[in-house]
Chain A
Amino acid sequence: MSEVVLDVQNLRVEFPTRKGVLTAVDDISLQIRRGEILGVVGESGAGKSMTGMSILGLLEPPGRIAAGTIHLSGDRIDNLDDRAMQAVRGRRIGAIFQDPLTSLNPLFRVGDQLVETIRLHTDLDKTAARVRAKELMREVGIPAVEERIDSYPHQFSGGMRQRIVIALALCAEPELIVADEPTTALDVSIQAQITALLKRLCRERGTAVMLVTHDMGVIAETADRVAVMYAGRLAEIGAVDDVVRRPQHPYTNGLMGSIPSLSNDVEELQMIPGSMPRLNAIPQGCAFNPRCAHAGPRCRAEVPKIAREETTGAACWLAQTGTVDQGEAA
């Protein structure tokens, strides 16, 4: 087993509001090892981006980490002040966001942005940094680097811009990359190019990747393991093939069934009744119980958990104990 790069334990993110404290991320534990791609999947409001943002130290106030720890290669990073976090972000953790146009400064040439980032994180001088920038651009598959290095972001297409953003994230050879919906804004044929690129680069460098997306297809083709989130909690975690083919949690199961298939014909798509609860109205017990066909008394009373040290599992009483009757605790 290779070493653990990211270790998140019992993370809890809260947003104090006038009407009370909302819990956006509730007791999440996960680990990513060197060279591993962990997909974090969930629907809008599941807390997947919040998890990514708290690792990057970019939670918007009043959001805050209320409990839990985040370790990067053994160093605790969740309690760092802004300055110390700034030194970690970019150098040790790279970030790739959904919209490549807003991740780049429209007023600077892409080459200058790369050079600035490289110089910020390494000791290279201007000339050496520019050589390095060109190398990176070649590596991410930008054609005609000599000409394109002095272009502005708007002169690139969406796919090419996202390649530049990936180059920026790789500048300092980070240990971890957090990619939040990196392909959502792109067309399918470009999407495949970008995920393949991300995968190749991380394999070669042994970078750990947290790939946050709503697209199960992207996860299936890119990630090694997947964490499924629901209403701020971890519903299920495990190897991609297991979770996709043999989902343990009824929510994961419903989610898979609701995706129109490319090879099987169904008259009706499987539906999960209702919708995800709002953060101010998360039901008692298992957050999924009002929508779950198997819910029993225990699901309405107690929150099922995946043990912190588990790398595989479903937060579901039925999957864990085979019964949804009241547990011995009640």
Chain B
Amino acid sequence: MTLRQNAILEVDALERRFDVSAPWLNRLIERKPRKTLRAVDGVDFVIQRGQTLALVGESGCGKSTIAKLVTGLHAPSGGNIRFHGDRDRLQMIFQDPFASLNPRWRVARIIAEPLRTLKPGTPEAQVSARVDELLGIVGLAPADGLKFPHEFSGGQRQRISIARALAGEPEFLVCDEPTSALDVSVQAQVLNLMKRLQKEMGLTYLFISHDLSVVRHMADVIAVMYLGRIVEIQPTADLFANPLHPYTQLLLDTIPDLEAPRRDRSPMGGEVPSPVSPPSGCSFHPRCPLAFDRCRTERPQRRPQIHNRRVACFAAEEGTADVQ
């Protein structure tokens, strides 16, 4: 298996359930049953060293839960995560640059925290030299280390988050919507910075986003999620050239394209169902134009003989999918 030799992260049949039952007394009196939400429902993927795997999907599809499972902020309810690297060298960048930096700490202390935690006993002079270096890497000045987070704009704060993540000399970064809170021109600065750092330091990214155009720019491989499952996973160019799953096709159809705006399209109806009571069979079937009986009862899997495990869809399996 040459493919797996260079894998840094392997995720197998990963599951995470949350108990969303009513309180005990209500269950007792009103005879309400226990309820579980399957946020992540049997997900598997592999990330190669130095590459970027992107998870895309709409709110509630489980992409952020996967980020928390991979970083160990949640424990899996099932399946496993194998990380072939140094756990200390796994870092995370969060979405909200306003909430993820301690407002009462100066920036230098924020950036130095991973250094001080992971390598206690590092001489102070060395720590501050490293902080200055990191500030430089992300395009800030050493003098910025003396300021507090509120003195910076959103884009600059996200640079500080990146500097902090880099302080631990990571090899693997989990980035949960790192630019969603930023304006487009600032987003471009941060995305370019992240790409440059990946090239220079050989970083691997697990990149989570709802924005397909950002993902197209950043990722080598894209996994499309729907209600806790990966419905399609393909190298970026293939996914855009030849989307296999009807949901991916829907997503690609609905994002406005600046170069070719479709001003009189009729958007597809329906909404993402509640993950507490997902539809039977393939959870996309109520919205799917290609759905047939089998989709309502059976759950499709990604199988080696179907487009080389790239898609979980009976329509694709039976060759009825609209493949241009």
Q: Does A86 lie at the interface of the complex (its beta carbon under 8 Å from any beta carbon of B)?
A: no
What 1/0 mask marks residues of chain B from 235 to 272 whose CB sits below 8 Å from any chain A CB? 00000100000000011101111111111011111111
- Asked if B155 and A275 make an inter-chain contact with CB atoms under 8 angstroms apart, the answer reads yes
Task: Find B258's partner among A256, A266, A267, A269 (CB 8 Å cutoff).
Answer: A256
Interface size on A, residues (CB 8 A): 43
Tell me, in angstroms, the Cα distance from A193 to B189 when the chains sit together: 31
Tell me, in angstroms, the Cα distance from A257 to B255 when the chains sit together: 17
- Asked if A264 and B259 make an inter-chain contact with CB atoms under 8 angstroms apart, the answer reads yes
List the B side residues contacting A257 at CB < 8 Å.
Answer: 188
Tell me, in angstroms, the Cα distance from A145 to B164 when the chains sit together: 52
Task: Find A43's partner among B185, B212, B266, B269 (CB 8 Å cutoff).
Answer: B185
List the B side residues contacting A160 at CB < 8 Å.
Answer: 271
CB distance from B305 to the nearest CB of A (A): 30
Q: Does B187 lie at the interface of the complex (its beta carbon under 8 Å from any beta carbon of A)?
A: yes
Write the chain A residue with the least CB distance to B59. Answer: A187
Stretch at the interface among B100-108, B122-130, B213-221, B312-320: B213-221
CB distance from A256 to the nearest CB of B (A): 7
- Asked if A260 and B214 make an inter-chain contact with CB atoms under 8 angstroms apart, the answer reads yes
Tell me, in angstroms, the Cα distance from A191 to B213 when the chains sit together: 16
**Given known contacts A214-B184, A220-B258, A187 and B155 CB-to-CB distance under 8 angstroms:** no
- Asked if A159 and B184 make an inter-chain contact with CB atoms under 8 angstroms apart, the answer reads no
- Asked if B267 and A189 make an inter-chain contact with CB atoms under 8 angstroms apart, the answer reads yes
- Asked if B187 and A258 make an inter-chain contact with CB atoms under 8 angstroms apart, the answer reads yes
**Given known contacts A188-B254, A192-B254, A268-B192, A255 and B184 CB-to-CB distance under 8 angstroms:** yes
List the B side residues contacting A263 at CB < 8 Å.
Answer: 257, 259-260
- Asked if B184 and A43 make an inter-chain contact with CB atoms under 8 angstroms apart, the answer reads yes
Q: Does A190 lie at the interface of the complex (its beta carbon under 8 Å from any beta carbon of B)?
A: yes
Q: Does B37 lie at the interface of the complex (its beta carbon under 8 Å from any beta carbon of A)?
A: no
Most buried by A among B187, B259, B261, B262: B261
CB distance from B131 to the nearest CB of A (A): 23
CB distance from B258 to the nearest CB of A (A): 5
List the A side residues contacting B256 at CB < 8 Å.
Answer: 192, 215, 217-218, 220-221
Write the chain B residue with the least CB distance to A266. Answer: B217
Q: Does A28 lie at the interface of the complex (its beta carbon under 8 Å from any beta carbon of B)?
A: no
- Asked if A159 and B271 make an inter-chain contact with CB atoms under 8 angstroms apart, the answer reads yes
What 1/0 mask marks residues of chain A from 302 to 313 whose CB sits below 8 Å from any chain B CB? 000000000000
Q: Does B58 lie at the interface of the complex (its beta carbon under 8 Å from any beta carbon of A)?
A: yes
Q: Does A110 lie at the interface of the complex (its beta carbon under 8 Å from any beta carbon of B)?
A: no
Q: Does B68 lie at the interface of the complex (its beta carbon under 8 Å from any beta carbon of A)?
A: no
Q: Which residues of A from 220 to 272 have beta carbons under 8 Å from B?
A: 220-222, 240, 244, 254-264, 266-272
- Asked if A260 and B191 make an inter-chain contact with CB atoms under 8 angstroms apart, the answer reads yes
Q: Does A118 lie at the interface of the complex (its beta carbon under 8 Å from any beta carbon of B)?
A: no
- Asked if B262 and A188 make an inter-chain contact with CB atoms under 8 angstroms apart, the answer reads no
Tell me, in angstroms, the Cα distance from A216 to B184 when the chains sit together: 9
Write the chain B residue with the least CB distance to A160. Answer: B271
Write the chain A residue with the least CB distance to B272. Answer: A187
- Asked if A272 and B185 make an inter-chain contact with CB atoms under 8 angstroms apart, the answer reads yes
- Asked if A260 and B213 make an inter-chain contact with CB atoms under 8 angstroms apart, the answer reads yes
Q: Does A79 lie at the interface of the complex (its beta carbon under 8 Å from any beta carbon of B)?
A: no
**Given known contacts A217-B258, A260-B213, A268-B195, A193 and B269 CB-to-CB distance under 8 angstroms:** yes
Tell me, in angstroms, the Cα distance from A307 to B270 when the chains sit together: 46
Interface size on B, residues (CB 8 A): 45
Write the chain B residue with the least CB distance to A257. Answer: B188
CB distance from A109 to the nearest CB of B (A): 21
Q: Does A44 lie at the interface of the complex (its beta carbon under 8 Å from any beta carbon of B)?
A: yes
List the A side residues contacting B293 at CB < 8 Å.
Answer: none
**Given known contacts A221-B262, A259-B213, A262-B213, A157 and B185 CB-to-CB distance under 8 angstroms:** no
**Given known contacts A218-B256, A263-B257, A269-B192, A188 and B186 CB-to-CB distance under 8 angstroms:** no
- Asked if A196 and B216 make an inter-chain contact with CB atoms under 8 angstroms apart, the answer reads no
- Asked if A190 and B184 make an inter-chain contact with CB atoms under 8 angstroms apart, the answer reads no
- Asked if B210 and A188 make an inter-chain contact with CB atoms under 8 angstroms apart, the answer reads yes
What 1/0 mask marks residues of chain A from 190 to 219 whose CB sits below 8 Å from any chain B CB? 111100100000000000000000111110
Task: Find B216's partner among A256, A260, A270 (CB 8 Å cutoff).
Answer: A260
**Given known contacts A187-B59, A221-B263, A271-B185, A261 and B258 CB-to-CB distance under 8 angstroms:** yes
Q: Does B6 lie at the interface of the complex (its beta carbon under 8 Å from any beta carbon of A)?
A: no
CB distance from B175 to the nearest CB of A (A): 15
Tell me, in angstroms, the Cα distance from A221 to B262 when the chains sit together: 6
Task: Find A258's partner among B58, B185, B267 (CB 8 Å cutoff).
Answer: B185
Q: Does B297 lie at the interface of the complex (its beta carbon under 8 Å from any beta carbon of A)?
A: no
Q: Does B277 lie at the interface of the complex (its beta carbon under 8 Å from any beta carbon of A)?
A: no
Q: Which residues of B from 167 to 225 have beta carbons under 8 Å from A?
A: 183-189, 191-192, 195, 210-214, 216-217
Tell me, in angstroms, the Cα distance from A259 to B240 when the chains sit together: 17
- The residues of A with any CB-CB pair to B shorter than 8 Å are 43-44, 157, 159-160, 187-193, 196, 214-218, 220-222, 240, 244, 254-264, 266-272, 275-276
30 contacts between A and B (CB under 8 A): A44-B154, A44-B183, A159-B271, A160-B271, A188-B58, A188-B210, A189-B250, A189-B267, A190-B271, A196-B267, A217-B256, A217-B258, A217-B261, A220-B256, A220-B261, A244-B261, A254-B185, A256-B258, A258-B185, A259-B188, A260-B217, A261-B217, A261-B258, A262-B252, A262-B259, A263-B260, A264-B259, A267-B195, A271-B185, A275-B186
